[in-house]
Amino acid sequence: MLADLLIHPRLVRVEVGLNVVVGFKVVPDETLIKVSSGKLDMNVAVKISTYDKNAIEEAVRIKESTGGKAIGVTVGNTDRKTIREALSMGVDEVVAISTQYTDVLGTATAIAEEVRSMNPDLVLFGETTTDGSTSGLGPMVAEFWGVPVITFAKSIKLDGKVIRAERSLTPVVEIVETELPTVVTVTGEINSPRIPTLRQIMESSKKPVRTKEFKSSPMASLDSVEPYLVQRKRIVLEGKTEEVVQKLIEALRKEGAL
């Protein structure tokens, strides 16, 4: 045991609980958005934006391993059921900031204000959202807060106040290091978000949700959203593989594609 301590001085370090803020967005489920009579039907179920769940998972893991706290922040749609999902996953509390239409700069302004008042060790976001997909929120919050940012992290490791991350910058991978506090955006490959148990879902109703309002004056206004749809022939070839392959080759030759 003593030998262990001498060889691995790290074992004796007392880890202080890290406070992590994690941003997540409530978005319309993009897989349910359909086009009907030339228009997008946006009246669909909402969800936590896909990779924001990876950010939540990572925040909860860090909180669990260091004995700190994980606080969620969401801006825009503050649907309670969706916020409860984040709480069920292990977030201790959520700050829910409602706004009218805002651009990513507005969202960053609102979150940076919260972050400054909470002064956490680490702020996590997903690499991008499924609605606006700007990948801009993390870098903007870091800039407003005045700390370094590491984007597209596919793994992170904390060692005291030093954070080391593996960045996926296709086709390059970089291992980078900086000191906390910092902002990190995580990729969808960093972990597999947990599915909360029934008990965690029940208990989440006792966790606090602080609601706020934010008045945004966006610099980028959304004028219109049109379907991006390419009409296809949709010919189905079904049957024995030899036969359908023969038919396909004939069709492709006729089209001049082969």
Q: Contact positions toward ligand FAD, by CB under 6 A?
A: 50-51, 128, 130, 188
If the CB atoms of residues 51 and 145 are measured against ligand FAD, the closer one turns out to be 51
Say if CB 71 and CB 64 are below 8 A apart.
no
Nearest to 80 by CA among 116, 118, 48: 48
Angle at 182 between CA 180 and CA 183, to 5 degrees: 155
Say if CB 185 and CB 135 are below 8 A apart.
yes
Nearest-approach distance from CB 17 to another protein, in angstroms: 24
If the CB atoms of residues 52 and 103 are measured against another protein, the closer one turns out to be 103
Nearest-approach distance from CB 50 to ligand FAD, in angstroms: 3
Cα(140)–Cα(111) distance, integer angstroms: 10
Phi first, then psi: give them for residue 179, nearest 5 degrees: -100, 150
Cα(8)–Cα(30) distance, integer angstroms: 48
Q: Which residue is nearest to ligand FAD (CB)?
A: 50
Cα(163)–Cα(123) distance, integer angstroms: 12
Interaction partner, residue 79 (another protein, ligand FAD, none; CB < 5-8 Å by kind) = none
Say if CB 127 and CB 185 are below 8 A apart.
yes
Interaction partner, residue 45 (ligand FAD, another protein, none; CB < 5-8 Å by kind) = none
Give the bridge partners for 162, in sequence order: 159, 179
Nearest-approach distance from CB 130 to ligand FAD, in angstroms: 5
If the CB atoms of residues 182 and 185 are measured against ligand FAD, the closer one turns out to be 185
Interaction partner, residue 241 (another protein, ligand FAD, none; CB < 5-8 Å by kind) = another protein
If the CB atoms of residues 145 and 152 are measured against ligand FAD, the closer one turns out to be 152
Interaction partner, residue 178 (ligand FAD, another protein, none; CB < 5-8 Å by kind) = another protein
Nearest-approach distance from CB 5 to ligand FAD, in angstroms: 44
